[in-house]
Amino acid sequence: MTIFHVLPWAGLLFGMMYGAKCGSRFGSASGVVGAILGGAVGFVLGRVPFFLVLKSIQKDFSKKTVEDLRRMLRDPAFLAPNTVLLELGSRGENLEGELPVVLDMLVAPSRERRIRGWHALASAFPECAKLIADYRIDDAPEECHRKTQKLRGAEPGAAPNGGPAKPLGISGVAEGPPSVS
């Protein structure tokens, strides 16, 4: 959980309280309406910092080369690999070669790294995420490794069990980052 998760809900609560207080001056029904309107406004205003940071990241990424972005993706200290994948996808880059990097994140000893890996997988490779729906970030790294083996066993586009080849999907990559949840 980050500050970007907390701010909208704090805005909602503050807005409801403030709206109820202001609206109650004109009666209890107005207090309820004020709480609803204040909560909605507070929630929206609480999302503003996230969008400002997102715009800043996009501006920063636009100055980076594809090679720089790929280096960032491989840096264990980088906090948002999914944003790099989405930027690469929006530039029309083939992301299938980055799947092993994401899978390595999913089996990392660090829970935080596994979280980043899951967000990267879900945003850039949603079909792969569906294939390992039983994956749990809080599992031991060995268990995470076992659950990701079905994605490691085949090269991108390779035929599973000798059947027809199915490309790894990266649909939605250019749609933008997912909402933070």
> Of 61, 93, 110, at which residue does a domain stop?
61
Say yes or no: 118 and 157 in one domain: yes
Residues 105, 19, single domain; the answer is no
**pTM for this predicted structure:** 0.61
**Across 27-56, average pLDDT:** 93
Residues 68 and 157 in one domain: yes
Among 20-29, 62-71, 157-166, where is mean pLDDT lowest? 157-166
Do 39 and 123 reside in the same domain of the chain? no
pLDDT at res. 13: 96
Q: Are residues 52 and 74 in the same domain?
A: no
Q: How many domains does the chain have?
A: 2
Residue that terminates a domain, selected from 61, 81, 98: 61
Which one of 61, 84, 102 terminates a domain?
Answer: 61
Q: What percent of the chain has pLDDT over 90?
A: 66
The per-residue pLDDT for 29 is 95
Of 89 and 160, more confident = 89
Averaged pLDDT score across all residues of the chain: 84
Q: Smallest Cα–Cα separation from 78: which of 128, 120, 123, 140?
A: 120
On whether both 74 and 35 belong to a single domain, the answer is no
158 lies in some domain: yes
Residues 85 and 155 in one domain: yes
Q: How many other C-beta atoms are found inside a 10 Å radius of the C-beta of residue 68?
A: 12
Residue 181 lies in a domain: no
Mean pLDDT of all residues in 55-68: 86
Q: Is the pLDDT of residue 169 over 80?
A: no
Q: Does residue 28 belong to any structural domain of this protein? A: yes
> Is the same domain home to 103 and 137?
yes
154 by Cβ neighbours in 10 Å (0-12 / 13-18 / 19+) ranks as middle
pLDDT at 2 over 50: yes
Domain that holds residue 70: 64-175
Summarised one tens digit per residue, pLDDT across range 108-149 is 999 999 999 999 999 999 999 999 999 999 999 999 999 999
Distance of alpha carbon 141 from its chain centroid, rounded?
21
Q: How far is CA 129 from CA 46, 106, 156, in A?
A: 30, 11, 14
Q: What percent of the chain has pLDDT over 70?
A: 83
Same domain, 85 and 148: yes
